[in-house]
Amino acid sequence: MKRTAAVSVIGLAAALLLAAGHAGAQDAERGKAVYEEQKCKLCHSVAGEGNKKGALDDVGGRLGAEEIEAWHRNPKEMTEKSGSTRKPAMKAYGEDKLSEEDLDALVAYLLTLKG
């Protein structure tokens, strides 16, 4: 009986992980669309498409989710924190310009970019 319960728990855990992975893939796919909708290419590039001065090809390997989110919500603070000198400075994307759901999806997409 203990073995059956353990197998059931492992099976449930595996199903949840697969569902989370699928949701993560869907979020990243939506995030790529948000990247296009927000015209991020004007200042940034991915895989050589867009402004090469702001390449994001390895951003997912350099920054965590919280930092990527902060760059969108509080770019002035992040510019000071990082010592960035890139001009023009990144503009802030408040919830009126980028919903929490879209920001979460965009972050999920950017985290997939590991160079």
User: Among candidates 108, 91, 100, 114, which has minimal Cα distance to 33?
Assistant: 108
> What would the mean pLDDT of 92-101 be, rounded to a whole number?
96
pLDDT computed for residue 25 by the predictor: 81
> What would the mean pLDDT of 88-105 be, rounded to a whole number?
96
Give the pTM.
0.79
Q: Token pair of 89, please?
A: 């400075």
pLDDT computed for residue 22 by the predictor: 39
CATH numeric code, 2-111: 1.10.760
> What would the mean pLDDT of 16-24 be, rounded to a whole number?
48
> What would the mean pLDDT of 7-12 be, rounded to a whole number?
51
Question: Where in the chain are the domains?
Answer: 2-111
What residue has token string 């296009």?
A: 36
